[in-house]
Structure formats: C-alpha cells, structure tokens
Structure 1
Amino acid sequence: MNTTTVPGSRLPTTIPEYLDQLRAALTGADKAMIQDAVYDAEEYLRSEMAENPGRSEAEVIASVAGSYGAPDEVADIYRETEVTVARALRPPVPPKRTSALGRFFGVVADPRAYGALFYMLLSLITGIFYSVWALMGFSTSTGLLTVIIGIPLLLLFLMSIRLLSLAEGRVVEVLLGVRMPRRPLYTQRDKPWMTRLKELFTDGRTWTALMYMVLMLPLGILYFCVAIALLSTSLGLIASPLALFVGQGYVFTFGNWNLVTEAPWLLPLFSVIGFILLFATLHLARAVGLFHGWLAKHLLVRTPVV
C-alpha cells in the first residue's frame, strides 16, 4: 500500500491548519476520499471544541491527537479504510477471458454492465428533474436580483445544486462504481459569513455542478432512447421465432418480406442476431458507464487545494 505522509510536520494549532496538513498528507489520493476525510475531521474537531468551550483550538487539537490522530496518522487510516471498504463493496470480478468471443460474451457476468444499463434507463427521469430545477432555479433567482429577495433565493438555489450533486454522486457510485464524495464540501466555519458566501460564488465546482445538471437533460434523453431502442430491438429479434406459433395474422417484416409467411426459416437466424445485439448492448452500456463516471468525477468533485 502506498501512503503519503508529511514527515517532520509540527502539530497544527488551529482547525484550518489541521485540515490543510490532512489534505497535504492525502496528496495523490482519490479526491472524493479527500473531501470525505476533511469533512469528517472538521466535524470531529468542531464537536470537540463545542464540548470544551474554555479551551483554545491548540489545546483541543493537542488533546485529541492521541485519540483521533495527527493529520498524517489520520491520512494513513483513511487510506487503509478506503482499501478495505473498496474490497468489501467491490462486485465479483468476472473471470478473465482470453479469446475475443469469450470477452464479448463474458460481459453477461459483469455487474457493472447491468448497473450502467439501469443508469441509462433512470437518467431520463433524473435528467429532466435536474435540468428543470437548474434552469428554472437559475432564471428565477437571477431574474429577482433587482429586488431584495433575489440574493437569498440565489444563495439557496446554489446550495441546493451542491446538495443535488451529492445525491447524484451516490447514484453514480452505486450504479457505475465510481468513487464519489459521501460527505458535503468542507467550508471553514470560522470565516465570516460574507467570505463564505463569496466562496460559494467563486468556487468553480458550484458552476460545473450546475453545468452537469443542465447537461443531464440531453444526456438522459440520449441514454434512455439508445437503451430502449437496443433492448426492444434485441429482445424482439430474440423472440421472433415465437411468431410461428401466434398465427398467420402476425406480421414480422424485413424489407418487403413478411418472414412469418414467406421465409419462416430465417426467424431462427434473426433470433441469433438478437442475442448478439443484446450482448453488444451490454458492452455499450458499460462504455457509457465509464464515460459518465468520468464526467461526474470531473464536474461534481472539487480538486483539493494543498
């Protein structure tokens, strides 16, 4: 296991300094994990400060260093925990196939392909909701900036975008297998309110998350239509031989042919084509899952500043 520590660093005397050292100790780790670690550390230190109102930050940090740990120790614990949790949650790895046919048909044993396919079907609903919320919320709040209610409404809207991005990250992690944040973004709570509100506007991830919500409408429509078209076509072709048992009134056409009456011997061939198309659909779903996981990672997770 590769760990990154900060050798020789002194024990921090303030919570922001502690969090800065923790981020530095986690350099190179998954940025979603860094966001979770920083948030957890801040929550713990703030709760300790609340329980010890008569003590300074330096005294509280020194007292909890033995139980919670110094920043580099906490970083090592998070790295080890991340590996343990990832192994526990990892779906069964399908056996490696050496032949091209084995790799093609082996996708049926890949759980990520089914998760990505379900995400493609679900994305129409989430895409419509996210985009309508983003477009209506942004247009309404900015349109009311000329009156006093516009500014707090815009702030609430931007905070809701962060909340939605956190919820979407959980969906992406469960269905697509991409590590996403499980905690909100860290905000240094001892900063003045105006400074924190200014950071909400200047934080690039606020706007990339908003862009993600808007993009989900065309992407959701595309994902859903492609998934439905391929699934219905492949399943229809697979079931085509059943047309022989339905009766002469059933029509299964290919070009100008009604295969049921003119070429029934071709129906088993179309059924085989349907099976192949179904496996190709799973491959495409897995590729879409990889692409969308990459997109969500880059637009919804803030790169830590060390």
Structure 2
Amino acid sequence: MNAQGLPTTIPEYLDQLRLALKGADPAMIQDALYDAEEYLRSELAEQAGKSEAEVIASVAGSYGAPEEVAEIYRETEVTVSRALRPPAPPKRKSALGRFFGVIADPRTYGALFYMLLSLATGIFYFTWVTTGASLSIGLSILIIGIPLLLLFLMSVRLLSLVEGRIVEVLLGERMPRRPLYTQRDKPWATRLKELFTSGSTWTSMLYLLLMQPLGTLYFGLAVTLLTAAVMLAAAPLSVMIPGVFDVTIAHWTISTMGTWLLPLVSLFGILLLFATLHLARGIGKFHGWLAKQLLVRDPVV
C-alpha cells in the first residue's frame, strides 16, 4: 500500500479515524479509537527503534489507513447490530393494534426488568461513589490517600463500562464495549492528572449518583403500577373466592361493589397493565439516551 497521505503520528491517525467516522454512533467511535490506539501502540512497542510514522506505514497494509478502518467498522457495526437485534414485532397500523401490540415487543420486557433491577444497582453505585469519594478525600492528606483516590477514579470508569453493558443488553442502546484508552507508557502522575481532567470521569460519576434516585423511581413505578394493574384485572376473583382475594380502593373493597362493576374494574386493570408496558418502554428509551450522553466519551489522546 502506498504510504503517501498516511498520518505520521498516532494522535494524527486517531484524529483522521475520528473524522472518517463522523456521524457514526459515538459508542462505536469510542470502540474504534480504543482498538486503533491499542494496536498501534503495541506495534510501536514491538518495533523498538522505529518512529511512529514508520510503524504506521508498516502496518497500513495489514491494519489499514484511517478511512479503510472506518469503513470496516461501519460494515461490522451493521452486521453485528442485525445479529444482536431481537425480532421486531409486527407493524400495526391501527392505534388499538399499536397499544396492545406492546406486549409482543421484547424491548418492553428488557426495559421492565431494568426498572426492577435499577433499585439494587442504583443503591450500590450511590454507596460506592459516596463512600469512595469520602475515603479518598479524607485520606488525601496521607500517602495512602493518593493511590486510593486513583483506584477509586479507575473503579468509576469500570462501573460505567459495566453499566453500559447492562444498558445495551436490556435497553438495546448501543454502548461502548471497550474502556477509554489510557496510554500505558505515560508517567503515573500524567495518568492521574488525566483522570481528574477527563470529562468522562465526572460525567460517569454523575450518572452513578443519579442512578439512586432514578432507580428508586423506576422500581416504585414498576411495582406499584404492575401490582395495581394485576389486582384490578383479577377483580372478579374477589367474588369467586370471597374472603381470600379482595382489593381495596379508596376505602371501598371490590367485593362490596355491585357485580356489574367488576367487568369494568377488570377492563381498567387490563388497560392499566398495557399502559404500564408502554411507560416501561418509554423509560427504557429515555434512560438509554441518558446513559449515552453521560457514559460515552472520546479517549484522551
């Protein structure tokens, strides 16, 4: 391959790759930049004595120029997305069909499960961040406080990567599959400085803190609405099994209502159940967007 026009430094290569991937999914761009820098720096370490320009020129034939790598990632992304995408529910033209069709959408159940799971993950994230930050700041006056602070900030990035995988699996939002790249041969002080100056550290920490109130809200909505919907839908059982199954609404028990009201109460419960599924899918889309905004960043080159 003719090396004319190839970048002469790794940062320049990454800038050209980022430009070639302009408009692509930010999470995919982060993965592509991580892979490219990891590969180029490993080649630079193996080919000791050669300059960055020489290494880039020597691997251009096997790894590719930035434009070629960008094209490969775009094609691979389409292939992988199609393979991992759950079967799409049949399209329904009528409003009634779309309303009840939510039950056939796999994303609905992923979002619902995420809402139930978010209480546990939110409490864990919040506890980890507040405890880690308190210990790190409190011990910063001692020698042990510096490495503890470094480990804490690195753990925030690790948790953000783990959370991203959960979001992608359950909510279907494309998230990074690689961590932010940190050049290993940089001095320890420089890497620590980058942890402080990188916006991804603080946006990830903000996300982990937000998960506690959001997780509580998601869990409360899911449990409350699902319980109410199921109990109302099963209202006729209060007559069929008196004294065993009954529902109280505003100090009125269903079993004391007129029998003619039971079908209406049951119908309302069924409608509430489907409305809850729509709400879960909407929350899933919102939270996927929020995770993409706070957890996806370009690496520091």
Query: Shorter-chain TM-score: what band?
Result: over 0.9
| Residue in 2 that maps onto 1:232 | 227
Instruction: Report % sequence identity.
Output: 72
**Residues 217 and 276 from structure 1, CA distance in 2 versus in 1: closer, same or farther, beyond 3 angstroms?**
same
The residue that corresponds to 2:56 in the other structure is 61
Q: Distance in 2 between matches of 1:9 and 1:113?
A: 51
Question: 2:88 and 2:245 mapped to 1: Cα distance?
Answer: 43
5+ unaligned residues in a row in structure 1: which ranges? Answer: 1-7
Question: What's the counterpart of residue 39 of structure 1?
Answer: 34
Does the Cα contact within 8 Å between 1:131 and 1:213 map onto a contact in 2?
yes
Q: Quick one: distance in 1 between partners of 2:183 and 2:300?
A: 13
Which residue number in structure 1 is paired with residue 128 of structure 2? 133
Distance 1:29 1:56 in 2: 31
Return the alpha-carbon distance in structure 2 between the equivalents of residues 23 and 187 of structure 1.
Answer: 17
Partner of 2:76: 81
RMSD: 2.1
Residue 269 and residue 14 in structure 1: after superposition, are their counterparts in 2 closer, same or farther (change >3 A)? Answer: same
Distance 2:243 2:197 in 1: 68
> Is 1:113–1:285's contact at 8 Å kept on the other side of the alignment?
yes
| Residue 247 to residue 19, structure 1, CA distance change in 2 (3 Å) | same
- Deviation of 1:29 (Å): 1.4
* In structure 1, C-alpha distance between the alignment counterparts of 2:297 and 2:126, rounded to whole Å: 21
Q: After the TM superposition, list the runs of 4 or more consecutive aligned residues in structure 1 that deviate by more than 6 angstroms.
A: none
- Tell me the residue number matched to 1:285: 280
Q: Per the alignment, do residues 134 and 231 of structure 1 end up closer, same or farther by CA in structure 2, a change over 3 Å counting?
A: same
Aligned positions, number: 299
Q: Which runs of 5+ in 2 are unaligned?
A: none
Alpha carbons of structure 1 residues 270 and 171: separation in structure 2 relative to 1, 3 Å = same
Counterparts of 2:245 and 2:21 in 1: how far apart (Å)? Answer: 64
Partner amino acid, structure 2, of 1:265? W
Take 1:94 and 1:198, find their aligned partners in 2: how far apart are those partners?
Answer: 48
Conserved in 1, the CA contact under 8 Å of 2:110 and 2:171?
yes
Show the 5 A alignment for 1:156-175: 156-175=151-170
Contact 1:34 1:304 in 2 (8 A): no
Matches of 2:58 and 2:39, distance apart in 1: 13
Instruction: Write the deviation string for residues 99-141 of structure 1: whole angstroms up to 9, x where unpaired.
Output: 2212211111111111111100000000000000000100110
* Residue 117 of structure 1 pairs with residue 139 of structure 2: no
Distance 1:258 1:180, change over 3 A: closer
> What TM-score results when the alignment is normalised by the length of structure 1?
0.91
1:214-272 C-alpha deviation (Å, 9 max, x unpaired):
11111110100010000111111122212222235654334454432442332222111
